[in-house]
Structure 1
Amino acid sequence: MKKNLVLASILAVSLLAAGCSQAGKASDVTPVTLTEREKQIASLVGEYPFVVDVNYPKDVKGTVLSYEVWKNGSMVENNVVVFGGSADESNKESFTMIYDIDDDWKNCKLNLSSTSARTSFDISLLNDKNSAPNAAMPSFAAAEDVDEYYNVKLVPGGSYVLSALTLSYGNSMEAINHGKGDYKDFTSEIDKNNTCVLVRLDTFDSEKAAEKYADSMLVNEE
């Protein structure tokens, strides 16, 4: 219950920020820089918080929010979080994503909140040799100056990374920095020696198309 209340508080903060953070921005996706107080509230849920505001263009009428886990250069896990129409009549939505890594670094809880949903997922961080990572780095949508280069234009049929966390098993680890948020560009840069947990947004020209895509993902999971 306590964590749910914290998530609700963070979400409320992001919703309040939505109105002003979009003003004057060319990007349809705007990372929100949390205040120190907001970071302290988020720390009750996890170490790595991300908040983004999304302003959907009129031709985007359906969305699918999902998360993926990449290990050794391949996707090993993906789950649909929520799918359907693109937010409310204002065509705006806010997403809060908080990554909480266990003290032994063997598991991560991904807490997700949006305007329409709130949920969490338990993710194993162990690699093929059953070893746990020893370091983590926010690899997307976390830099303090991210809005200086972050420029995402949403179009129907697009796939975008809203946030990502890279975990190292003792190898060198570099942040993946680019300003388009493109899913294919991002995943092509994932180091094969590390693990990456990312939150993905897919956009469609209709709610029906989004539902069809989500159904296909759910079938593949089975």
Structure 2
Amino acid sequence: MSRPDATASAALDQDFIRPGFFVFLDIVGDPVRCTTLGVDITITGSGIAEIDGFLFAGISSDFVDISPVRMKEGGSEQVTAKLSGLRDIDNDTLNTLGNSANWQGREALLWRMIRDGNGTQQGAIQHYYTGTMTSVRISGDPAGQTIEVAIESYLAALAAPSNRTYLDQEKYDSGDLSARAAIAIANGNSANPLTSNTATPGMIPNLRGINGFTFGGLLK
């Protein structure tokens, strides 16, 4: 995340500003570049490889919603980029989004441009978020459709489930047979996991327990 330069910082002290936002979604075969400035724009000289020389489609901020970036321990909260008011989504777009390999885990970048009350750019464009796309949802009604992209920080993406389990303990300690015992109990088998000796289910004698209480019953 880059900080506003001196010119942009000075503009932020004004009573009224008109920021513009830029988004790049690295979708295979159909990368998305759009801006909330409301007009198509090609920027040069920003020094940002993902911006310079590329056309950003101008979409009104009424139809683009980028959620705030909130930081927390381990990274930021999930960010969503929502494109709404779409009358129709063509089959090519549906097919592209329908294949998660085209977008899942791929990069999403966000920048902002500070402008004064007259819409004049103040200072350089600032990069303020990098994440990876984790899910895409299409919803809507006859009046229009919405595409919503969920974006996670790279730290959150690295924290994907390990799929490890305590049932793997025997791989690391050959003498630890607790996993076998747990599985046997879950299956109603009282076999000793070490000797495979099986007790015969039936009544067990009453045992004197704590504070004089008695335990007994059927083994299941």
- TM-score of the pair, normalised by structure 2: 0.24
| TM-score when normalising by structure 1 | 0.24
Q: Which has the higher contact order (CA 8 A, sep 6+)?
A: 1
